[in-house]
Amino acid sequence: MFAFLHKYASLMHFYRLSARWSGWLALATALLMAYGLYGGLVTAPADYQQGDSFRIIYIHVPSAWMSLFVYMCMAGAGAIALVWKIKLAEIWLRASAPLGASFTFLALVTGSIWGKPMWGTWWVWDARLTSELILLFLYLGIMALDNAIEDRRTGARAAAVLTLIGVVNIPIIHYSVEWWSTLHQGPTVSKLDRPSIHIDMLIPLLVMAFAFTTFYFAAALARVRGGILAYDRNTNWVRDLVGRGTVRGHG
Amino acid sequence: MAEFLAMGGYGAYVWSSYTIAALVLGVNAVLARRAERAVLHALAHDLNGDDDDATA
């Protein structure tokens, strides 16, 4: 088990193994999105209360889920980076931050656009919206802190500490619609015994959520591979890799 | 088709949401791809600067 972990934690091995993962994940994203978009925009029936405006759900909810999921991935990577000093965890955390910030931004913007026709306002300072906005600032703060510290590893560790402190915001976001009165609707899907959503509306939503997840891993992997090269820039394997690239480039 | 684009009167809200999502995800995909290439280019540049053996 530890030998296995060690092998995957080795930057060189991870770089070589991941060469194809990103491409397959990108392909999976394209197929899932095509199916999810068709299901969400075309075959799903209009909502009996919200009409066709509810179709914003197919990007709003996956974005919002991913804004939390990416943060939890970063928190896990941050804990591993701090406790075991594993470089790959530092690189993963750094690679995830801009993606998490993007999903959070999308959740806020699409929620706002959905709120205007349904609630009659673009924005309210209630618990769900405010805590999600704080999440966006957390992501931006983590990226800024990391960038402000010149030493790569020190920056990653500082970012990891800030990430772990910010974890307190995650349950607040999740339970905000139950703890405080809000305009935001309560959970629709997570009531697994009896989800209050029609199956033809639910399946495209789950497919889109899956597509956003594969998108995250595809994009994060591409960033991680760049991070690995930067971390190991003075090792022989990166020099060999870059050297070969140079020969090809001149040939 | 016109009916589909109208989205029951919510077309502006629905399509602006989907357009923004497409832009944000598209930019992320491009930036992620570029990130690895940028490092490779920078390293190749460094290598050529101080180590000519690399091209031999």
Domain ranges of chain A: 23-42+54-187+195-243
Nearest-Cα residue of chain A relative to residue B44? A242
Nearest-Cα distance to chain B for A97, in Å, is 12
Closest CA to A75 of A187, A163, A195: A163
Any idea what DSSP says for residue A43? I
Answer whether residue A242 shows pLDDT above 90: no
Q: Do B35 and A222 touch (CB under 8 A)?
A: yes
φ/ψ (deg, to 5) at A90:
-65, -45
CB contact under 8 A, B47 and A26: no
What is the SS3 assignment for A168?
coil
8 Å CB contact of A246 and B17: no
The values of phi and psi at residue A234, to 5°, are: -95, 10
Asked if A28 has any chain B CB less than 8 Å from its own CB, the reply is: no
- pTM: predicted TM-score of the whole model, two decimal places: 0.90
Give pLDDT, residue A248. 47
Compute the distance between CA of residue B44 and CA of residue B32 in angstroms, rounded to an integer: 19
Q: Is 90 exceeded by the pLDDT of residue A226?
A: yes
Higher pLDDT, A174 or A193: A174
* Cα–Cα distance for residue pair A4/A220, rounded to 1 Å: 22
Nearest CA in chain A to B6: A52
Query: What does the pLDDT average to over A39-60?
Result: 91
Amino acid at A181: S
Give the A:B interface size as CB pairs under 8 Å. Answer: 111
Count of residues for chain A?
251
Model pLDDT for residues B6-52, shown as the tens digit of each residue: 888 898 999 999 999 999 999 999 999 998 889 889 888 887 765 44
Quick: pLDDT tens for A127-162.
899 999 999 999 999 999 999 999 999 999 999 999
pLDDT at A51 over 90: no
Q: B-side interface with A, Cβ within 8 Å?
A: 4, 7-10, 13-14, 16-18, 20-21, 24-25, 27-29, 31-33, 35-40, 43-44, 46-48, 51, 53-55
pLDDT value at position A15? 92
Residues in chain B with CB shorter than 8 Å from the CB of A223 are 32, 35-36
Q: How far apart are CA A106 and CA A132, in angstroms?
A: 11
Cα dihedral angle (A58, A127, A195, A57), rounded to 10 degrees?
-10
Report the pLDDT averaged over residues A228-247: 83
A113 touches chain B (CB under 8 A): yes
Those residues with Cβ within 8 angstroms of residue A232's Cβ, 6 or more apart along the chain or in another chain: A11, A12, A238
Nearest to B13 among A105, A116, A215 (CB): A116
Q: Pick from B17, B38, B43: which is nearest to A238 by CB?
A: B43
Half-sphere exposure in the Cβ direction for A193 (13 Å, CA):
0
* pLDDT class of A249 with cuts at 50, 70, 90: very low
Residue A186 clears pLDDT 70, i.e. is over it:
yes
